[in-house]
Homo-oligomer: A and B are copies of this chain.
Amino acid sequence: MLRTGRRTAKGVAGYDLTRLFVGSEGTLGVITEVTVALRPAPAQSLTMVAVFPSTAAAGAAVAEIAARGLTPSLLELLDQTHLRAIEAYQPMGLRTDAQALLLAAADTGTRAADDLADLAQVCESAGADEVYAATDAVEAAALLQARRLAHPAMEKFAADAYPGGNGGLVIDDVAVPRGSLAALLDGVARIAAECDVPIGVVGHAGDGNMHPNIVVDRADPASLERGRRAFDEIMRLGLDLGGTCTGEHGVGLLKRDWLAREIGPVGVRVHQAIKSALDPAGLLNPGKVL
């Protein structure tokens, strides 16, 4: 039984084992108990949407928001595929002619309205067709609903795309520096066309973290193969743009080779040395990550 971390706000006693175990995906030990710190609840947040005629314009807006040092508490992107899937799943008046929608929130209390106005101005300068800010908390919550429906709507879209209920999603998770978001979005559109698979993109634009959802027919080996190729091409593109193969979902089995490529041979040796030191018999989640 190893206990890591501390109850103090600060501390530098010994190695940061908590951070080493978080994200190790069970390969270094089994976490049996977690104590979390509480942070102050944020003030009421305000929300806005910006509608873009191109993904490049939406990507440029995100890059400019980061460059200006604006810090929205939420900055999410939905592409046209998602907008159409959501509108088909539950009509809510989304602009399905738009190529991309950015959803932003500010939770800075009395300053939130000013922060939203700054975000709106950046979106307009970057070429947004339309910017709409919620005027109260109820409306702000309503604007977030589209984002919440993104996953079930895409599942429905995939199920409907192929006969016999065999349509499904391969959900990717790639993050790039925020300045490269437009290049990532353009590249994913090119990969979708080249591999001949539908791909919708949704994600955490403010983190440069996108989830390309690749639509495949699970009953058709050719469709699965095209989906796998698209998945690999997206990984390659993400790394070429200076990004990472996983922003938040982890490595598991699917991305072991991409992790090795991302961290390089020295990185792999250091990972293996740590793994062997803490799990010499290789009992812990064998075969995963490394």
Contact = CB atoms under 8 A, between A and B. Distances in A.
A163 interface: no
A31 interface: no
Interface stretch (A83-91, A93-101, A136-144, A262-270): A262-270
Given A9-B206, A175-B8, A15 B274 contact: yes
B8 A15 contact: no
Interface of A: 1-4, 6-17, 19-20, 22-24, 28, 39-41, 69-71, 108-111, 114, 175-178, 204, 206-209, 242-251, 255, 258-259, 262-264, 266-267, 270-271, 273-274, 276-278, 289
Nearest to A263: B14
Contacts of A41: 69
State how many copies of this chain the complex holds.
2
Most buried by B among A17, A245, A249: A17
11 contacts: A1-B266, A2-B270, A6-B243, A8-B244, A9-B209, A11-B244, A12-B250, A13-B245, A13-B263, A15-B271, A16-B16
A264 B71 contact: no
A259 B251 CA distance: 33
B242 A17 contact: no
Given A2-B266, A244-B6, A273-B277, A15 B11 contact: no
Given A14-B267, A19-B19, 19 more contacts: A1-B266, A7-B242, A8-B175, A8-B177, A8-B243, A9-B208, A10-B207, A11-B247, A12-B23, A12-B250, A12-B251, A13-B245, A13-B258, A13-B259, A14-B289, A19-B20, A108-B108, A108-B111, A274-B274
A39 B15 CA distance: 25
A12 B270 contact: no
A29 to B, nearest CB: 9
B246 A11 contact: yes
Nearest to A68: B40
A6 B208 CA distance: 12
A211 to B, nearest CB: 12
A255 B176 CA distance: 41
A13 to B, nearest CB: 5
A62 to B, nearest CB: 11
B16 A259 contact: no
The 9 closest A-B pairs by CB, nearest first: A40-B69, A277-B277, A19-B19, A11-B244, A273-B277, A8-B175, A9-B207, A10-B207, A16-B19
| Most chain B beta-carbon neighbours within 10 Å: one of A15, A19, A69, A251 | A15
Nearest to A278: B273
A248 to B, nearest CB: 6
Contacts of A270: 2, 17, 278
A20 to B, nearest CB: 5
